[in-house]
Homo-oligomer: A and B are copies of this chain.
Amino acid sequence: MLHQLGLNSAAELFDSIPTDLRLSRDLNTTAALSEIELLAGFEKLAAGNKAAQRTSFLGAGAYQHYIPTIVDHIISRSEFFTAYTPYQPEISQGTLQAIFEFQTLVCQLTGMEVANASMYDGSTALAEAVLMAERVTKRSKVVACGAIHPEYLDVITTYVQHAGIELVHAPVDAQTGQASDPTLLLDNKTAALVVQSPNFFGCIEDVAALADKAHSVGALLIVAVTEAISLGLLKSPGACGADIAVAEGQSFGVPLSFGGPYVGLFATREKYARQIPGRLVGEAFDKDGRRGFVLTLATREQHIRREKATSNICTNEGLIALAATVYLETMGRRGLQEVAAQCAQKSAYAARRIAELAGFSIPLTAPRFNEFVVRAPLAAKELLSCLASDGNITGGLPLSRYFPDRPNEFLVCVTEMNSRAQIDSLVEGLTQATK
């Protein structure tokens, strides 16, 4: 082929690059590995992840739930995972119809009217919601109330730093664990009130009351959900009056995978549809009246609007959104209810058992879904590290990771994957470790 192009060497292909910019040596990366060697290398690294196979009660924004076997089979079909963004609808209807179903499911679960085709994850979805509230209301203050996931708060802070948005925090009520009353912070410059429910401490917020407060000053209510399984049991953000609902979709059939790829859910009211960031799929018809689906309302997007776009997002989390869609359709109406109920029941059982332990308490009083804070009689980080080494149990998240002023507290998460025997051995382990 080189010859046919009138070239004598592969190097000539790069003649348009000035010679002094061309790399005159080999890259200092490894020599090529065979499949056998490569797999052995990664298996060895994986074995270095000592926590991967432990009984775990770690949640805090990423959850261990059962993933039906069919999810991975479907997303591993060549037709799905090796396709691009569906720019050519005639040969992309598989992806498009799946996303349309995803959007519908997100609406159903969040109780909202429109949803997009996905955001990077829950944290960036929340940041985009804040930016959208500013666009919608043309106001510049945002009140984040209660215990929002600290990493989500970090991400919002990064996103808004140059957007002329003032971010204000309403504190956590030390007794209930819910947000304290934000009324004093709300005013007619407030674009949005942001709340997470269940919040970072596992407490369910009174979202409906907060919605009223936000609306009373003309602000939007943004609700974030990190544990999307809770939507199977708890009143939806939409039903509570949310204007924008975002969620981390990882709980819907997506492996923990050390933090990603996950998928951000983003939903809002129909009237804000043209302010939504990211991709949207809509129904369309060909000239013979056959139904199909297309990417739509593209004029919001960067490839048309450029710097005036509703967001810079382009590639999103298509395949993970597909995984979530397969998960939701497989579990279905009854499965989602059951898994949510099991989480709540098992978590309540664990909390009851731990509350009985000498020296331990469950300090926060608000209703919970599947996570709760435990206060231990000693430093939580040491306690949990004991539990890991002696009992091969990851007992939860020491809150000191984010809150140095809470050395003795840790966050426990219980899902349908935790058997009663596992919960009992957690309780037993805590007992032993404090003896």
Contacts and interface: CB of A to CB of B under 8 A. Distances in A.
Interface of A: 35-36, 66, 68-69, 73, 76-78, 417
Given A36-B417, A73-B76, A77-B78, 6 more contacts: A35-B66, A35-B68, A35-B69, A36-B66, A76-B76, A77-B77
A35 B68 CA distance: 7
A73 B81 CA distance: 13
A40 to B, nearest CB: 9
A76 B68 CA distance: 17
Nearest to A416: B36
A214 to B, nearest CB: 41
9 contacts: A35-B66, A35-B68, A35-B69, A36-B66, A36-B417, A73-B76, A76-B76, A77-B77, A77-B78
Contacts of A417: 36
A206 B172 CA distance: 86
A73 B76 CA distance: 9
A76 B76 CA distance: 10
Closest 4 CB pairs between A and B? A36-B66, A35-B69, A35-B68, A35-B66
A171 to B, nearest CB: 40
Nearest to A38: B69
A74 to B, nearest CB: 9
A70 to B, nearest CB: 10
Contacts of A69: 35
Contacts of A76: 73, 76
